[in-house]
Structure 1
Amino acid sequence: MQKDKHPDYHAVVFRDRAAGYAFLTRSTATSEQTIAWDDGETYPVVDVEISSESHPFYTGKARTVDSEGRVARFERRYGGEGKGAETQS
């Protein structure tokens, strides 16, 4: 690597405030706040709103909100089992 061309890549703790979960990784992110980690070292800590521990897609709690019902809306528009099916034949 060329000197003074790349950002400082160091150990950082990311803390998910929604899930109360923290993990140690390497990043170029910086912070004034520090945290004492399990290994006895002190690392900068970056607070994040959401991570894989609290994101609905990764936790399996993702829901599709369908207030009207796609099948009912399709049947109403194009016929089907309802009253529209008899008039199209």
Structure 2
Amino acid sequence: MKEKIHPKYVDCTVTCGCGHSFKTRSTKPELKVEICSNCHPFFTGQEKFLDSAGRVERFTKKFGGNYFVKGKQEKGKSKA
């Protein structure tokens, strides 16, 4: 490696918005993040499925529950 062109690699403290902090190494001595594995819903087991404004129901109402099955059947009929 060339000398005097690489940044200093120092101990770093990462602080989350929830208050959790941990140590790692980086080119900056301090990092602040909004979310970490201590408070992220996937890691805490509080993951929720949110249907934004009933989009699934609107799609089902508009196209019917077997929308994809009909498309496959019509393609098969046109070939015969």
Question: In which range does the TM-score fall when normalised by the shorter chain?
Answer: 0.5 to 0.7
1:34 matched residue in structure 2: none
Could you tell me the TM-score, scaled by structure 2's length? 0.58
Letter in 1 for 2:54: E
Alpha-carbon distance between aligned partners in 1 of 2:32 and 2:54, rounded to the nearest angstrom = 38
Higher relative contact order (CA 8 A, sep 6+): 1
Structure 1 residue runs of 4+, over 4 Å off? none
**Cα 1:75/1:14, change in 2 over 3 Å:** closer
What residue number does 1:25 align with? 24
Percent pairwise identity:
38
1:68 maps to which residue? 54
- Normalized per residue, the structure richer in strand is 1
Q: Which runs of 5+ in 2 are unaligned?
A: 66-80
Q: Deviations over 1:2-57 (max 9, x none)?
A: 21111100111112131x21111111113xxxxxxxxxxxxxx4332222222233
Residues 1:55 and 2:40 aligned together: yes
CA root-mean-square deviation:
2.3
Give the helix-richer structure, 1 or 2.
2
TM-score by length of 1: 0.54
